[in-house]
Amino acid sequence: MTNTFRIYCGLDTKGQLTIDQARETALGLASDWFPHGHTIIEATGRWQQNCAPVDEPTIIIEVITENAKQEAKVFQLAGGYKALAFQESVLVTKTAIEAVLV
């Protein structure tokens, strides 16, 4: 079965890294773990804090795979980003898809 994985990498590191350094960390890990293909989506994460919306620049790394070995790499990438970018958590989603290369 083919799956799409999305790894949500927030770029706010509570002052440990600049946003540009966090972005480069995410992009570097994506290139290291998935050199044969991945997609980068620039996004804004949002939530409420003290009754006010908080916006956080976010990089979403998308990987499409049908290989269990590649699936393990998704979680290794997420764990690596969590540690290197001082994150409390990194969200990984998995969606079953039907895909055809044309």
- Tens digit of pLDDT at every position of the chain (102 positions): 899 999 999 999 999 999 999 999 999 999 999 999 999 999 999 989 999 999 999 999 999 998 888 999 999 999 999 999 999 999 999 999 998 889
Q: What is the CATH number of the domain that holds 21?
A: 3.30.70.120
Q: Is residue 102 part of a domain?
A: no
Q: Residue 20's domain spans which residues? A: 2-97
Number of domains composing the chain = 1
What is the dihedral sign for C-alpha 15, 21, 27, 32?
A: negative
Q: Is residue 77 part of a domain?
A: yes
